[in-house]
Amino acid sequence: EYEEIVDSFRETLFYNVLAMKIKNTNYEVNTESEERYFELDLLDFGTGYNANVMYFQQWPLVLDVFPMEDGILEEDSYTDSGSMGGFLSSLFCLTNYNFVYDIKYPLMISLYDENSDYTFQFAIMVVLDNNQPRENELGTLEFTEESVICDSKDKLMTVYALGVEPSGLFVELEGADVNYQCVTSDCDIGQTLGIRGSASLTSYFPRCYNGNVIVEKEGYYSGSEVVSTLDSDSASVVLEKLYEYDYEIRIVDYDGNERSPTSDETIYFSLVEEEGYTATAFYPYDDSKIELIPGEYSLFATLIKEGGKGISVNGQSFEKCVSAPVLGLGGIFGLERDKCYDVELDDFNLDSLMTGGLELTWEPDRFEMDLANEVVFYVLEVGEPQDVEDLEEVYSLLEMGIGMKEPEFK
């Protein structure tokens, strides 16, 4: 069924993206298979950076499959089926040309420079169209700072940059930079003047339908508002304060016992705020500081254990069958026959195992955020799986959400 395919594909993406390494950055390759399949040769020189590529199962995924009827795709024949076969199919890309896929999903890439203690993160969109990777045929859209549009400023407008106090009340902010984006032109308008509580910018804007007023101020998450200068005389843009915290990640079990992560454990935290702000936290710590804004967050975390006993999976033989047109005149009239071939999978060992995680919604209190200096994140430990069935049980227990604990401010 379609929903099962989407869930399986999300799981496959998570594990495969987690294993990706970028050549000439700081990491270790343990096996030849890791170097062959998961090392991306993107840089010609050593950078000294730490690099991570991430996809979380909570993130968006667009998956269209053809042909499909009432959410059902016809399954292929296997000589061996059951839970083991289903799990193996989620780990390997077994191409079936009976189906045409359109796929879109985001990836986040994080670069950390130990010398400057600076982290840079950016997102890209992976797109497959009719089983083929996307090609850029239109070139790159460049936003120019100066243009004919920016030179034609003749509409007087007033802009207010509204910060949000811990009480939830708005306050007008001084020293906020205001830009106006119209089509591909990014026009510098000016800066709000006055004192805190009584500040604004009155200046001339270019005439534009559904342009974007963008307001930025140090210490605040940038805000924007769609404004048509053809019929508007003012605009108010809300800026949420950025709170910087030291953070710690703790592991809890179902009995409420807490402990610190160990050197053989890796933890990834993703925080997505409802208005689009995102933040991440990691263990081992690259940088033990995080910036948050008030709002409602979707939290997703995974706990991975490296180098344990692992799970040994015996190789298996699968017979895959696809329907193909018969040769000759019958094929013209749509006659088909099953064409089958054997797939051999060697023995392999899963050394990196998911032993816990977290998925919940969290809305921190503004007053607590304003008073705190540190935030503690908790990830639930389910237990180390001993076989494939145990691994499937880990996923099931995490989906139930029992024993998960919200972050706490200190």
The residues with which 283 forms a beta bridge, in sequence order, are 267
Distance CA 396, CA 386 (A): 15
Please provide the CATH number assigned to the domain covering 243-310+351-409. Answer: 2.60.40
pLDDT (tens digit, 9 = 90+) per residue, 304-330?
887 666 666 666 666 666 555 555 444
Please state, in angstroms and rounded to a whole number, the distance separating the CA atoms of residues 336 and 333: 9
List phi, psi (to 5°) of 83. -65, -35
pLDDT at 54: 82
Most confident of 40-49, 136-145, 322-331: 40-49
Confidence of residue 96 (pLDDT cuts 50, 70, 90): very low
Q: In sequence order, what are the residues at sequence separation of 6 or more whose Cβ sits closer than 8 angstroms to the Cβ of residue 72?
A: 1, 2
Q: Which two tokens stand for residue 142?
A: 């460049």
Section 205-213 average pLDDT: 92
Whether the predicted pLDDT of 80 surpasses 70: no
What number of other Cβ atoms are within 10 A of residue 164's Cβ? 17
| Average pLDDT score, the chain | 80
314: helix, strand or coil: coil
Q: How many Cβ atoms sit within 10 Å of the Cβ of residue 29?
A: 13
Mean pLDDT of 271-277: 89
Which of 164-168, 343-347, 392-396 has maximum average pLDDT?
164-168
Domain with CATH 2.60.40.1120 in the chain: 148-241
Please give the Cα distance from 235 to 159 (Å, whole number): 5
Residue 9 token pair: 């594909």
More confident site: 368 or 116: 368
User: 148-241 — its CATH code?
Assistant: 2.60.40.1120
Residue, of 109 and 200, whose pLDDT is higher: 200
Residue type for position 243: Y
Q: List the single range of 95-99, 284-288, 405-409 with lowest mean pLDDT.
A: 95-99
**Per-residue pLDDT reduced to its tens digit, 222-270:** 999 999 999 899 999 999 999 999 999 999 998 889 999 998 888 989 8
Q: How far apart are CA 323 and CA 76, in angstroms?
A: 10
Closest listed residue to residue 252, CA positions, set 376, 135, 346, 85: 376
What percent of the chain has pLDDT above 70? 73
pTM: 0.65
